[in-house]
Structures are given as C-alpha cells and as structure tokens.
Amino acid sequence: MAMTTEPRSDRDVTAIDQSTGRVGDVVFAGLARSSGLLIMLALAGVAVFLVVQGSGALGNTGDAVYGKDSIWGYVWPLLFGTLLASVIAMIIAAPLAIGVALIISHYAPRPVAKTLGWLIDLLAAIPSVVYGLWGINFLALNLVPAYDWLQRNAGWIPFFEGPVPNSGRTMLTAGIVLAVMALPIITAICREVFAQTPKMHQEAALALGATRWEMIRMTVFPYARSGMISAVLLGLGRALGETMAVALVLAPSLLVSFNLITAEQSSSTIAANIALNFGNASGAKIDTLIFTGLVLFIITFAVNFLGRAIAVRGVAKG
Amino acid sequence: MTSTSIRRAIVPGIAALTLALSACGAANEDTGSTSVDGGGDLSGTLAGGGASTQQAAMGAWAVGFQGINPDVTVEYDPIGSGGGRENFISGAFPFAGSDAYLTDDEGELSDATERCGGEAPIQVPSYISPIAVAYNLPGVDELRLSPQALAGIMAGKITTWDDEAIAEDNPDADLPSERINTVHRSDESGTTENFTDYLTTVAPDAWDAGVVETWPTEYGGEGAKGTSGVVQTVENSEFSIGYADASQTAELGQALIGVGDDFVEPSAEAAAKILEASPEAESASDTAVIYDLDFATEEAGTYPIVLTSYLMACQSYDDAADGELVKAFVEYVISDEGQDQAAAEAGSAPLSDSIQEQSLSIIENIG
C-alpha cells in the first residue's frame, strides 16, 4: 500500500471518491433502504387491514357466514379447496417446469432453447381471465372424454367418483389451468438456477464417466435445490391466490370434497369465493369474506416459511 | 452522466404535465359549453352503481339520457345489489340500483334514512325482467314444466329427463333418459333470490331450502359465475338446465312454466303483468313503490318468475346539483322513453301505467 510504486492508484482512489462522490452512495443507499422499508410497510399495511376488518367476523354466525354455524365452518371448506387446487397444480406443474427448465439449460441446442424459453415466458403475459375463458370454452370441454374414461375405469377411487359434467368444469380442470399459469414462474427461476451450476462441477462429473442424467442428478440438482424450492413456492403462491381463472372454471360448492371430476360436489377456493361473492355482499358478510382473505394470507405466509425452512435445511446438509 | 439522467426524468415529466394540462382544458370546455349549448341545461357526472341485473338497461339509459343532456356523464358500476345499497348508505353513490328493496332486517332502511338527512329514501321499480328457465336438450323444441317438476329438478329430486313428472306435461316430446345437469349461480345473486323465492312459494314441499341468495350446497348442481356463466355452461353442455335473465337466453330453449292450467312463455308482456297482480310490500310508503311479488298467481298469461330491480335515491341532497341530476335521470329511467329503451336493449318488461305514474309523482319531489 505504502509502496512508492503506487502513488497513481492512490490518486485514482481519491479521484473516484470525488467524482461519483459520497452523494451518489448516500442517495443510492437511501433509495434502496426506503424501497425495502416500503415493501415492509405495504405488507404490514395489508396485514393490519385484514386483521382489523376481518377480526370482526370471528363471532359471525348464520346469515353472515352464508348459513354456516360459525366462521370456521365457512372457512374450512374454502381453505381445503384452495389447498387441494394448489396441490393438484403443483403436482402437475413442478415436474413439468423442472423438465422444461432442464431442456432449456442443458439439453436443447441454443436456438431451440432460446425460443422455448421465450414461449414459456409468454405464458406469463396472458391475463388470468383469458386463462379462465380458455379453461371453460376449450380445455374443460376437451377433457370430458378423459374424465368419462377415468370415471369408468377408476371410479372406485374417491377422487374419480363423478358424475362427470358435460361442461367439464371440475376441480381437476381448475388444477390444470392453475398448473399452466404457474408454469412460467417456476420454469424461469429453475432455468436461471440450473444455468448457474459451476461448469467445473459438471465437467468433472462427465469426466468421471457420468451420463448426462447422472451429471444433472449429481451436480445440477444439489446445487439448485434451494432455488428449485423457491421457484415451486412462488408458483404455489400464484396458485393459492389465483382468483379469476378459478372463479370461471370451477363449479364451486361450500363443502369438503376429494371428488376431482365432478361439478356437483366440488370445493371452492378462498380467492375465487371472494371474487364471486364480494359484489353482492354487504355488512357482516364483507367482514366474513375479508376474514377468509386473512386466512389465505396466513396460509400463504406459512407455506412460504415452511418452504424456506426446507430449503435452508437442504443447503446446510449439502 | 448526471445530465443525461436529469434529461431522462424531464421528458416523462413534461409528458405527464402536458397530459394533466390538456385534461384541465377538456374539463374547462365542458363547463364552458353548458351555457352556450341549449340541448339540456344539466351538466356534470352522475356516478352510481349497484345491481348487475340493471347493467344492460343502465347502458341504454345512460346513452339515452346523455342524448338529451350532452354535458352529463352517467356512470354505473355493476358491483351488485349489496354493494349498491352499501355505497348508497355511505353516501358514495347518489343513487343505487338494487334487486332487493331496503328493509330494516339489517338496519339498512334506517341507515339509508339517516344518510338522506332523516328523510325516507325513495325507492321505485326501474327494471322488471323475466327469469327464463333455459335448457339444452337436443331434439326437444318445447319443454313444459309444472312448478312441481321445476322445483324437483332444481332440488335434485328429479334426476333424469324422462322422469314421469316431466313426461306427463310433455307427451309429444322425445325426452332422453340422460342425467339432468342443473346449473345455478355460483355467486350470491338477486336472480337466485327471486328464483328461489318463486320455488318456495309454488312448491315448498319439493324446494325446502327457502329463499336464498346463494345456492344451497346440499342441492348439488353445477355452479357458474354470473348470468353469462350460467348461459355459457348450459350452452356448452348437453342435458343441462339453468335459470338466467331472459334477455340473455334467447339462443337457448326456454321452458314454458305452468301457471294455473296454462303454460306461459317468458315474454316481457307476460312478466310485466305480475306487478299488477302483486300486493305492495309491508314497508311500502309514500316514497317507496315496492312489491312482494305474488309468485303463486294463477292469472292467465302471467309469467311468474320475474326479477324486479329498484332504483334508490334521496328526497334531497346537500349539493343541489346532485339532486337535479338524480331527479332528471331517474325521471328519464321511469319515463316511457326510458322503459322502451330498456325493453329494446336489455329485453326488460316496461312498467305498467299506474306504477309509472305513482313513481313519477314521487320523483317529482326530489331536490
């Protein structure tokens, strides 16, 4: 540092200090800090709003909770439906998204991978109401033969009891639509994470005689594990909160039902239920609906925390 | 470096400023032309909202009213009856549309009276429309349903199309032995309320869930969002039956409903007759023309499943300009011109003369 050969660099340092100056540093730090703070404030604001408005519904009974005995009797079937639809969506979307991301990052030649990535990103740009309309008018109708087949051949499983509606508007259809909607988020993140795997690790694995699949299993997956979980969690967040598409596609009832291919006995989701009923709600019913929103908020939070915990544990092990 | 970033900020800044200024200019022009233009002497924006049932008619009324008063903008937010009443009571809407009249069951009538400065709110029927029972049954062009059969189907007690209860009224129809898929509204709605009110009145044994705004879960059936959702679902799936505003179901088969010994089609004229055959509601007053529909009527040629929607307003407003606008608009809605326009555009049934006169005499006192 104090060598005689370095006077120039010393001057450079001071020059840098003077030119962009401390002002830039201070302003940027301030901006970044206030952005972070703003997010916290927004989140806190939502939480406070939900608690203040929703807690009034805790004692609601009868008409105010749409004819149920208590608020919990109203929330539980909705919560169940929300989780069911999201789980179906994740079961379909997660493997699919990871597969697509692998194709893009490791298998396909560059131009193909680029186009595919671009197409997947485009899925994210489609408004959810359009997904809903597509779900009703195209997907649901075309799934009817498949549902009929399921009912005939697997009807003894409670999931596929039926009866199958000719419109095809079922929990499974809603799950599939949600899966398609969550696909771009999961794929985009997985793709980025997979691409970050150190080249050295991969080449080392290949050099040891690993096949491509073995290389991916031994180097890419362990490295990307926490990123993949984050990606699936973000997708799950989208599925949990999706409103319009589900409200259109699902034929909801207020009950707990594992029957996936019927319109008669199909659970509803919290977000869709709010969208369906808020317009005509007044007084205590509004509190009830906001309370269901609070429950969704808490569940989303819990799911995220859980996921992070799993992700962190995975890293510590590896 | 710094200068470019400043320039970057300036360009959109100027653009925003220009927009804001031009918006001001437009607003100025509007107010300026009022005094010059002789078409109508009203100006301003009238923003109300409420029942989505009135949405189509409201569009027609807004256009018609603005044709007479070019400087007035009428906005109607179809947030639902409950939302309409809520916003009317809170004072956010100067007028509101609602399928249900104000009652004191949840204190709404008192709240509305308080909002209107202690004067009873005005409630007049603005929109009457038949609720059609629409079906999708290939090869069956005419379907007659007795009230008992309809209630049985909707309650999930009659499950196949060739059931005896349906077949006996349709000796000529070739009814398939398929499962009946009943379609209902999945959202809380005034249409469901009116429909179940009808079922409860005419067939309390078959339909024992009472009058509800949300379809009872235990009766099954397929839920669909909004009138359009129900129509679309019936259209998409064969062997379905559902209920929806008749103006939206023209493409589908519409069942003839049993009234007395007759079977009546859901036409506007047949629907309009029901208000005349119905008694006034208990809370009807000098300012509220409201009815409890007599669904069990046996009067020939009356279509009994009808949705009525009301407009509510105050007798006086803090802002006199608001009062004038509301008065003129509601007057227009109730007038022959307004009712005819709604009939043409939204398929509603025009009000009868006596109800129209009574309503107009109430509206006269706004201001």
Average of per-residue pLDDT across B77-93:
86
For chain A, list residues whose CB is within 8 angstroms of any CB belonging to chain B. 66-67, 136-137, 140-141, 163, 165-169, 247-248, 250-255, 263-265, 268, 276-286
Residue B53, pLDDT score: 78
Mean pLDDT of chain B: 83
Q: Which sign does the torsion angle of CA B6, B8, B11, B13 carry?
A: negative
Q: Which residues of B touch A64 (CB under 8 A)?
A: none
Tens digit of each residue's pLDDT (9 = 90 or more) over A32-48: 999 999 999 999 999 99
- Number of neighbouring beta carbons within 10 Å of residue A154: 12
Tens digit of each residue's pLDDT (9 = 90 or more) over B106-148: 888 999 999 998 888 999 999 988 899 999 999 888 999 999 9
Q: Which sign does the torsion angle of CA B220, B225, B228, B232 carry?
A: negative
- For B334, list phi and psi in degrees, rounded to 5: -80, -25
Residue B211, pLDDT score: 85
| Strand partners for B134 | B242, B254
Q: Which residues of B touch A278 (CB under 8 A)?
A: 80, 83
Confidence of residue A171 (pLDDT cuts 50, 70, 90): very high
Percentage of chain B modeled with pLDDT above 70: 89
Residue B209, pLDDT score: 86
pTM of structure = 0.74
CATH fold for the domain made of A56-317: MetI-like fold (1.10.3720)
Domain boundaries, chain A: 56-317
Tens digit of each residue's pLDDT (9 = 90 or more) over B32-49: 333 333 346 788 889 999
Q: Which residues of A touch B179 (CB under 8 A)?
A: 163
Closest partner CB to A277 (pick from B108, B187, B190): B187
Average of per-residue pLDDT across B71-93:
87
- For B174, list phi and psi in degrees, rounded to 5: -95, 85
Confidence of residue A3 (pLDDT cuts 50, 70, 90): very low
- DSSP per position, A247-297: HHH---BSS-----S-SSS-B--HHHHHHHHHTT--THHHHHHHHHHHHHH
Range scoring the smallest mean pLDDT among A295-299, B47-51, B346-350 = B346-350
CA distance, residue B129 to nearest chain A CA (Å): 19
- CA gyration radius, chain A: 25
Q: In this model, does residue B177 exceed pLDDT 80?
A: yes
Confidence of residue A254 (pLDDT cuts 50, 70, 90): confident
Which carries the bigger pLDDT value, residue A7 or residue B330? B330
Closest partner CB to B217 (pick from A247, A254, A280): A254
Which carries the bigger pLDDT value, residue A177 or residue A313? A177
Any alpha helices (H) in chain B, and if so which ranges? Answer: 2-36, 55-68, 81-90, 108-115, 147-154, 164-167, 190-202, 226-236, 268-276, 320-334, 336-346, 353-363
Residue A62, pLDDT score: 79
Confidence of residue A314 (pLDDT cuts 50, 70, 90): low
Tell me whether 0.95 is exceeded by the ipTM: no
Residue A45, pLDDT score: 95
Residue A18, pLDDT score: 53
Q: Which secondary-structure segment (H or E) carries B311?
A: strand B306-313
